[in-house]
Each structure stands twice: as structure tokens, then as C-alpha cells.
A = this chain, B = another copy of it.
Amino acid sequence: MRTPLCDTLGIEHPVFGFTPSEHVAAAISRAGGLGVLGCVRFNDAADLDRALTWMDENTDGRPYGVDIVMPATVPTEGTSFDLDKLIPQGHRDFVQRTLQKLGVPPLPADEESGAGVLGWLHSVARSHVDVALEHPIRLIANALGSPPDDVIRRVHEHGVPVAALAGKSEHASRHVDNGVDIVVAQGYEAGGHTGEVASMVLVPEVVDAVGERVPVLAAGGIGSGRQMAAALALGASGAWMGSYWLTTAEYALMGQSTATQRALLAAGSSDTVRTRIYTGKPARLLKTRWTEAWAEADAPAPLPMPLQNLLVSEAHQRITLSDDPGVVSMPVGQVVGRMNDVRPVAEVMATLLREADEAIDRLGKLR
């Protein structure tokens, strides 16, 4: 299965795999898709540099890309010390109270409290771009829309196309006006930051708005060949998948808590919620006792990005160490209902492509 975008990027199949794991990203690229490494978790650009160097050595020369998180409007900047002062005590108290109620133990005495995710800061995201451009990347995607003009220009000077996620067709048009080369139309059902319009409606609308100017990828709800064929039927030039790799064998190499994997494998399609508690912007997470606590009447309104993620960063550490599937804090899409076993990326990809072929064959026989 090929679309013209495959030739542009030098990939075999129009499958774009977003993942925070270099092991998964490399495996996707080796399997003929485009592995896209999420950079947001790399507070230190040197760590990203090491991960990309590892990918250079483990992708058999196949193309890969990176994903940064750069809000269109520059959010509050500062060191985590400065930012900490902007977090109200009432919010801190709620987090402490909730963790206690949920039975999440404090950090062990020998465990250092982490700095939280700083990739939401413009300065950190810019350092990701700098590092990425020193590697043979074939795509930079921005999870929050168009990056600033100067970033787009610099990336283009390196001959690398820029992709941007869009949850509304107006946003997609603006991204293309700004110089973005590929639009990822991400529907309501997607994991992580997401809008309100579902893929079935959003994808053809974005294709109608910008499809004559740039290729459009469909994101949200894709985890089977039927869904991939549906995305292509809607006019997409490929499938952008994030959640579906979270239960692959390679993802487990990230060494996250096994509780997360167990929670994902057990969840159904109704077990997610779209909430601002992870980053300050609406994002779809697995529904657990942690997300439900924030939906109760006594919960404070989440803080704006990047403060909310700093507020909950130690909570995330404690939740991870607690190893309790009932309280994990994890972005994932509604396709989690289809994530029921642990398989290697190559097998996931082969099944996806075979099923998509079968779906297209079946459609051809309906006439």
C-alpha cells in the first residue's frame, strides 16, 4: 500500500508512528513506516542527542522523524524554580490529599523528585529542534500546530518538511499559510492533546480545506487495517498512529511501570477521558481513579500550560512507583479498547497492512 507521500519521504507504507520510545520509533521505520520520536520527555537536549544517535544506528538507514511540542503562543517561561512560585498552594494541597486518598505512597527517601516535563517550554522545544537537525531526520512534526516562522524557515533550510497537528480545519488552513508541509488531522478520539471534532468528520473537512496544497494524515482511532482503510477513504494520505504502539514489546523496553501496560491492556474504548489535568490543555487520558478525582466537585480547575504538568510531575513519579493500574496517569486514545495484547512492532505493522488490503478488497467487491 502506497500513497504519493511515501515517495516524497522515502518510506514503503503510509504509516506514521508517533512514540516517546526510540525503540518503537526505530522498529516502525525498519518495518517500512515512518517512526516519529516524541521529544517532549527530554528535558536535557543531550539525552535526545543520544537517543537520535541510537536511532541512526538502529534504523537500517530508513527514514525517521521527530515530534516537538511548541505552542503557537509562547507560554510562561522560566526555570522550574521560577515557575513553581506560580502554582497556588490550594492546588498543591489537592494533589497531596488526592494521592493520599488513592493510596499512592510518598517518594522513598532515596528517590529524588524529578524536574517534571520541561519540553512544553519554548526554549526546551527549540533545543530539541537544534539537536534533531544535526541528525538525518526526514520530518519535524509539531503536536500543537504551526511552530514559529523562524523555526519553520530553519527546518526548511535543512530540506526537512514540517508537519503540524490540527483539530479544526481553520487551524489546518492557518498552518499551511504559515508554511507547514503536512497536516495531521487529529480527531476527538485521539490520545493526548485533542479537539472536539471526530475523525470521521474532521479528516475530509481538512482534506477539503488544504488537501490541494499539502498531504493530510489522519490521526485518532486508528489501530486496525479497517481503520487505516477508512482513513484513506476519507482522503488522507496516510495514518498517524500514537496510542497503538504503547502495548508493543518494544515500548516495554522504556522500563515504565508494568501497571501502565496492565491498565492499557485491560481498558475498553469507553475508558478514556478528555481533560486538562495532564498539561493544562485538553488531552485524552486513560480514565482511572486519578482522573476521576480531578472531575469531582472539590477539585480545582487545572492550571494553564506549562504549570499544570509541573504541578503533577511529582504525583506522576509517585503514581509510577506505586505500580497500581487503578491510578495511572497516561495519555491514550479511544483505540485503547483494541490494545489487548503485547506484540512486536513488526507484527503490528504486518497485521495492519494485511487487514487494510483485505478491507480495500472487500470494498471493491461491493459494486
Contacts and interface: CB of A to CB of B under 8 A. Distances in A.
Interface of A: 1-3, 168-169, 187-189, 195-202, 204-205, 220-222, 224, 226-227, 229-235, 269-270, 333-335, 337-338, 357, 359-360, 362-364, 366-367
Q: Which of A201, A229, A235 has most chain B Cβ within 10 Å?
A: A201
Contact of A201 (B195, B196, B337): B337
> Which are the 4 A-B pairs with shortest beta-carbon distances?
A200-B221, A189-B198, A230-B230, A198-B198
A357 B269 CA distance: 31
Contacts of A197: 189, 269-270, 334, 337
Contacts of A270: 168, 195-197
A188 B362 CA distance: 26
Contacts of A269: 168-169, 197, 201-202, 205
Given A169-B269, A198-B221, A202-B269, 11 more contacts: A2-B367, A3-B366, A168-B269, A198-B200, A198-B334, A226-B233, A226-B235, A227-B234, A229-B233, A230-B230, A235-B359
Nearest to A232: B363
Contact of A338 (B188, B205, B229, B359): B205
Contacts of A188: 188-189, 198
Contacts of A362: 233
Given A197-B270, A197-B334, A204 B233 contact: no
A306 to B, nearest CB: 26
A201 B334 contact: yes
Contacts of A221: 198, 200-201
Given A198-B199, A234-B227, A335-B201, A363 B366 contact: no
Contacts of A195: 270
